[in-house]
């Protein structure tokens, strides 16, 4: 602003009162903002600090890590196989005359199951017997002639050549009688085949051929099937990496095998391991094993799928926890442990085999530690918790 000259003197212009008031208001507003920012931030930090110790506790369930004897099992999926499974076929051609069994019936070895029309086979037997009687009569006559020829030959009334010819006839008839015996035996066997009997004890299945139908010895399908399931066997598979463990266990004596249902919950029968297959299946990297079961109550049904649980050994005095307590993180396996003042701490662990619902802990936990089994997803390090009633880690059915 240029000074104004009045006459010979100049005067500095006055500042406007309004401009001064505006400047004062701006300064006051800036100072208040700074005060509010600093004071508000410090107050929020103080509030957070004040509220941190009082944050809400996380509700969790815990179990107590305890020392115990833990059995180690292997479980493989298998099928029940009968001791015997025999298809009932006709061994001769003919009309199926009658069926003497009921489907699902338990039969004993030698029981008559069916009959085929025997008339043609009876006639063949009678014919063979008649042929033998005829040859026997011819033999008697030939033997008498031979005796006379020999008598005349001693008196020089018959030549030795005729004696030898007669001896040949006798020998031929003797051979014919042997052939007749064989023919009679064959005809008798064919006739016996018209009565079909059970080849062994067992349960008979569904009838596939009704009476009145023509059956042949060349038929591919059986009339029925007899299955013997007492005892029964279970053929199951295990990973080939367990082969050495199983062989080592077999060296110590018989290995108990328990057959469970398909859901692996209900035990059906208890038996023993019979054998290990002589080769590993390279396509699946598995080994087949066979276990035998008395199956006196018929709980194992041929063709049924079961889970075979094989007990390898028993780990003595080891720490076990529920498998749900074992967590996996970026640094490996860990478990949440609740301290005496109910603070959750993550602890690195090393584990052994898993036995059903429990896992053996090799290192990282101590006897009596409380491990979190439910609510882990809400936890942070040093988080306060509220604990439900603890339960001991129980050993369950096994896998490995």
**Helices (DSSP H) in 194-284: which residue ranges?**
243-251
Residue 390 confidence (pLDDT): 59
Count CB atoms within 10 A of the CB of residue 138: 16
Q: Which of 58, 60, 59, 64 is nearest to 370 (CA)?
A: 64
80: which 2 tokens? 């029940």
Q: Which of 321, 314, 400 is nearest to 362 (CA)?
A: 321
What is the distance in angstroms between the CA of the first residue and the CA of the last residue of the chain?
A: 96
DSSP state of 325: G
Residue 46 confidence (pLDDT): 37
Q: Write the Ramachandran bin of 121: left for phi over 0, alpha for psi from -120 to 50, otherwise beta.
A: alpha
| DSSP-assigned states of every residue in 103-121 | TT-EE-TT-EEEEE--HHH
Residue 76 confidence (pLDDT): 93
Residue 3 confidence (pLDDT): 47
| Distance (Å, whole) CA 197 – CA 220 | 19
Burial of residue 329 (CB within 10 Å: 0-12, 13-18, 19+) is exposed
| Distance (Å, whole) CA 15 – CA 23 | 12
| Distance (Å, whole) CA 162 – CA 29 | 161
Paired sense of beta strands 58-64 and 391-392, if any: parallel
73: which 2 tokens? 């099992």
Q: Write the Ramachandran bin of 212: left for phi over 0, alpha for psi from -120 to 50, otherwise beta.
A: left
Evaluate the omega torsion of the peptide bond into residue 160 and state whether it is cis, within 30 degrees of 0: no
Residue 259 confidence (pLDDT): 95
Residue 246 confidence (pLDDT): 92
Residue 25 confidence (pLDDT): 58
Contacts of 7 (CB under 8 A, 6+ apart): none
| Distance (Å, whole) CA 299 – CA 313 | 26
With beta carbons less than 8 A apart as the criterion, state whether 345 and 337 touch: yes
Length reported for the chain: 400
With beta carbons less than 8 A apart as the criterion, state whether 275 and 212 touch: no
| Distance (Å, whole) CA 147 – CA 155 | 13
**Helices (DSSP H) in the chain: which residue ranges?**
17-51, 119-154, 160-193, 243-251
Residue 375 confidence (pLDDT): 85
Residue 47 confidence (pLDDT): 38
With beta carbons less than 8 A apart as the criterion, state whether 71 and 395 touch: yes
| DSSP-assigned states of every residue in 244-312 | HHHHHHHHTS--EEEEE-TTS-SEEEEEEEEEE-SS-BTTTTEEEEEEEE--TT--S-TT-EEEEEEEE
| Distance (Å, whole) CA 215 – CA 121 | 15
Residue 1 confidence (pLDDT): 44
Q: Which of 377, 391, 382 is nearest to 338 (CA)?
A: 382
Q: Give the model confidence (pLDDT) of 290-340 as tens digits.
A: 999 999 999 999 999 999 999 888 888 899 999 999 999 888 999 999 998
Q: Is 135 helix (H, G, I), strand (E, B) or coil?
A: helix
Residue 159 confidence (pLDDT): 80
| Distance (Å, whole) CA 247 – CA 276 | 8
Q: Is the dihedral of CA 291, 297, 301, 306 positive or negative?
A: negative
Q: Is the dihedral of CA 273, 274, 277, 281 positive or negative?
A: negative
Count of H helices and E strands in the chain?
A: 4, 23
Residue 55 confidence (pLDDT): 64
pLDDT < 50 positions in the chain: 1-12, 33-52, 394-400
């Amino acid at each position: 602003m240029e000074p104004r000259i009045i006459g010979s003197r100049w005067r500095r212009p006055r500042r406007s009162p309004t401009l001064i008031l505006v400047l004062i208001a701006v300064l006051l507003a800036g100072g208040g903002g700074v005060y509010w920012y600093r004071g508000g931030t410090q107050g929020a930090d103080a509030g957070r600090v004040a509220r941190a110790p009082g944050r809400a506790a996380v509700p969790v369930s815990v179990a107590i890590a305890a020392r115990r004897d833990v059995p180690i099992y292997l479980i493989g999926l298998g099928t029940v196989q009968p001791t015997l499974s025999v298809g009932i076929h006709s061994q001769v051609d003919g009309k199926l005359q009658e069926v003497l069994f009921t489907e699902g019936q338990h039969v004993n070895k030698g029981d008559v199951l069916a009959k085929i029309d025997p008339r043609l086979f009876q006639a063949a037997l009678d014919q063979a017997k008649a042929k033998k009687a005829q040859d026997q009569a011819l033999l008697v006559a030939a033997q008498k002639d031979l005796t006379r020829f020999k008598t005349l030959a001693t008196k020089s009334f018959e030549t030795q050549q005729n004696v030898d010819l007669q001896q040949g006839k006798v020998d031929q008839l003797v051979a014919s009688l042997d052939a007749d015996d064989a023919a009679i035996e064959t005809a008798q066997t064919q006739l016996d085949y018209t009565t079909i009997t059970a080849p062994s004890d067992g349960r008979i299945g569904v009838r596939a051929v009704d009476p009145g139908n023509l059956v042949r010895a060349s038929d591919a399908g059986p009339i029925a099937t007899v299955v013997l399931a007492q005892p029964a066997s279970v053929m199951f598979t295990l990973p080939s990496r367990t082969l050495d463990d199983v062989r080592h266990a077999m060296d110590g004596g018989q290995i108990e095998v328990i057959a469970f249902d398909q859901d692996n919950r209900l035990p059906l029968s208890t038996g023993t391991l019979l054998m290990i297959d002589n080769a590993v299946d390279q396509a699946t990297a598995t080994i087949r094993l066979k276990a035998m079961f008395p199956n006196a109550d018929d709980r194992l049904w041929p063709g049924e799928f079961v889970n075979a649980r094989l007990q390898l050994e028993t780990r003595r005095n080891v720490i076990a926890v529920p498998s749900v307590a074992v967590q996996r993180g970026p640094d490996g396996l860990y478990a949440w442990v609740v301290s005496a003042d109910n603070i959750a701490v993550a602890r690195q662990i090393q584990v052994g085999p898993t036995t059903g619902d429990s896992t053996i802990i090799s290192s990282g936990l101590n006897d009596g530690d409380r491990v979190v089994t439910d609510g882990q997803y809400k936890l942070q390090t040093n988080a306060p918790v509220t604990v439900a009633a603890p339960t001991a880690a129980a050993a369950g059915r096994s896998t490995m």
